[in-house]
């Protein structure tokens, strides 16, 4: 499939000097800074003032390179990408494109979205032309450019199809064609393969890399947002790892491996391991309030210790798996064995750590004594151990003690939502309460009625220490 497209592309694109760039700007030489963030900070409005998402990001995107922005879910990757594209303004600091400070949409970028973002009532051809229409290109030129982009990305034959007639892979090709048709200096991609099945994603990645390597990709740089480490190592020249709350650049890796990249090579695997360690590890610069693992147990509060999105079933499953491996599991291997991505595993790892059921050292996950007992216990015993552990988790403790102090033993969820709103976005508050509900129910500390949104103390938990 990939080679077919290359051949077709060579037949239709004979001009090897490449595009002149949007607005007739000269083609940037390799290494020239196209896009830069200087001290970029972004906050969103919370119920109680501004909630920082990005803090002091300095980043250059140069012609000739693919840069991957890698980070856990919620670390601010999409926010950073949107700021670079000028779709949302920075709170402070600046974004510049070719040396000019942005004040609105970046004229040098085009975006590919995870969810494709196609208009269902338009054909493939019309969807692709959309990007040019917005830039005021005349109809005839639009049609011609769209046909070329459609050809380049392997969509010829599908011009008059509607999105609903297409497979996921073909839909995302429309997303690519629509972005490439404007020949942006910098192509921005926000998890473009995440919504596709494994094989489709693999095929599309391969085709894009072949196009890029052929030197005829109609764009000078790529910024790829991903939470998939292997994807980053496979595609990028540089990997920028973001830490969370607020998002800062934790570490930058120069990839420096020859293309096409050999996944079996020792250098490839070694880099994956190093990036994993940065993402799972407790980097010194991340020792700020808000990083669960950075706060000493006795100083933990619901404000500085967010609950990870992890169900009791999920974290118990992980504990059992590690127990079967003798109480120790290499995290990169673990994700690999399970066919999972880092985003799936890390919240469970954070949860086990927070509950004192496991610790992380280097890239190994180690069960504690309590964790080992928990993994081997029957349901009743496991509930008991879990209840003990959960009492030390700030949000669970907050809910339990608040309920004990209330004469009726019940409180509206809104009460806790308001308390948390001082420190988290509403989305984060909702996620944390969902976890706290699951954990508290399993521990039989409290129950929750969805209607009327009320927490109620469990009888067995009415006496402290019971």
Q: Enumerate binding residues for ligand ADP (CB under 6 A).
A: 44, 53, 71, 73-79, 425, 427-428
Least Cβ distance, residue 396 to Mg ion (angstroms): 28
Complex with ligand ADP: residue 74 or 154, whichever CB lies closer = 74
Segment interacting with Mg ion, rule: CB under 5 A, options 8-16, 25-33, 78-86, 260-268: 78-86
Least Cβ distance, residue 53 to ligand ADP (angstroms): 4
The correct pick among 46, 51, 59, 78 for binding Mg ion (CB under 5 A) is 78
Least Cβ distance, residue 332 to ligand ADP (angstroms): 21
Complex with Mg ion: residue 78 or 244, whichever CB lies closer = 78
Complex with ligand ADP: residue 127 or 244, whichever CB lies closer = 244
Tell me the DSSP string of 4-56.
Answer: HHHHHHHHH---TT----GGGPPPPPTT-EEEEEEEEEEEEEETTEEEEEEEE
Instruction: Tokens for 312, please give them.
Output: 């009791």
Angle in degrees, 0-180, between the axes of helices 426-442 and 413-421, rounded to the nearest 10: 130
Find which of Mg ion, ligand ADP, none residue 91 binds, CB within 5 to 8 Å per kind: none
Complex with Mg ion: residue 80 or 272, whichever CB lies closer = 80
Torsional sign, CA 383, 385, 391, 392? negative
Least Cβ distance, residue 294 to ligand ADP (angstroms): 17
Interface size with Mg ion, residues (CB under 5 A)? 1
Q: What is the CB neighbour count within 10 angstroms for residue 272?
A: 18
Helix (H), strand (E), coil (C) string for 78-125: HHHHHHHCCCCCCCEEEEEECCEECCCCCCCEEEECCCCCCCCCCCHH
Q: List beta partners, residue 457.
A: 446
Phi, psi (rounded to 5 degrees) for 335: -60, -40
Find which of ligand ADP, Mg ion, none residue 98 binds, CB within 5 to 8 Å per kind: none
Radius of gyration of the chain (CA): 25
Complex with ligand ADP: residue 57 or 457, whichever CB lies closer = 57
Least Cβ distance, residue 115 to ligand ADP (angstroms): 13
Provide the greatest CA pair distance for the chain: 80
Least Cβ distance, residue 45 to Mg ion (angstroms): 19
Instruction: Tokens for 97, please give them.
Output: 């494109």
Complex with ligand ADP: residue 76 or 169, whichever CB lies closer = 76
Q: Which residues bind Mg ion (CB under 5 A)?
A: 78
């Amino acid at each position: 499939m990939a080679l077919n497209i290359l051949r077709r592309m060579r037949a239709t694109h004979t001009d090897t000097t490449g595009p002149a760039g949007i607005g007739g700007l000269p083609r940037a030489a390799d290494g020239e800074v196209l896009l830069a963030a200087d001290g970029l900070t972004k906050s969103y409005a919370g119920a109680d003032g501004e909630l920082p998402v990005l803090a002091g990001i300095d980043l250059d995107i140069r012609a000739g390179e693919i840069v991957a922005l890698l980070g856990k879910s919620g670390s601010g990757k999409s926010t950073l990408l949107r700021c670079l594209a000028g779709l949302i303004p920075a709170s402070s600091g600046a974004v510049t494109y070719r040396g000019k400070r942005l004040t609105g949409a970046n004229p040098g970028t085009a975006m590919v979205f995870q969810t494709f973002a196609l208009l269902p009532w338009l054909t493939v051809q019309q969807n692709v032309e959309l990007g040019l229409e917005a830039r005021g290109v005349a109809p005839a030129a639009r049609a011609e450019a769209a046909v070329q982009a459609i050809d380049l990305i392997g969509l010829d034959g599908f011009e008059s199809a509607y999105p609903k007639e297409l497979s996921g892979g073909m839909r995302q090709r429309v997303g690519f064609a629509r972005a490439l048709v404007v020949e942006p200096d910098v192509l921005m991609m926000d998890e473009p393969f995440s919504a596709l099945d494994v094989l489709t994603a693999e095929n599309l990645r391969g085709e894009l890399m072949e196009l890029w390597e052929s030197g005829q990709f109609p764009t000078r740089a790529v910024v790829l947002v991903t939470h998939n480490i292997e994807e980053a190592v496979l595609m990028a020249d540089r990997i920028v790892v973001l830490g969370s709350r607020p998002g800062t650049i934790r570490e930058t890796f120069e990839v420096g491996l020859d293309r096409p990249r050999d996944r079996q090579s020792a250098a490839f695997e070694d880099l994956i391991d190093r990036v994993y360690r940065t993402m799972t590890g407790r980097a010194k610069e991340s020792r700020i309030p808000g990083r669960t693992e950075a706060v000493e147990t006795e100083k933990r509060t619901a404000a500085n210790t967010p609950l990870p999105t992890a169900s009791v079933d999920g974290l118990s499953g992980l504990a059992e798996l590690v127990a079967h491996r003798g109480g120790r599991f290499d995290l990169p291997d673990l994700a690999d064995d399970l066919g999972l991505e880092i985003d799936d595993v890390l919240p469970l790892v954070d949860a086990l750590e927070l509950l004192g059921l496991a610790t992380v050292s280097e890239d190994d996950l180690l069960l504690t004594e309590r964790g080992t007992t928990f993994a081997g216990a029957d349901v009743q015993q496991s509930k008991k151990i879990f209840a003990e552990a959960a009492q030390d988790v700030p949000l669970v403790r907050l809910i339990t003690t608040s309920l004990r102090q209330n004469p009726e033993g019940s409180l509206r969820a809104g009460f806790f939502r308001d308390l948390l709103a001082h420190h988290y976005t509403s989305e984060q508050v909702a996620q944390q309460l969902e976890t706290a509900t699951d954990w508290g129910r399993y521990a039989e500390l409290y129950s929750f009625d969805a209607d009327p949104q009320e927490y109620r103390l469990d009888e067995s938990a009415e006496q402290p220490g019971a």
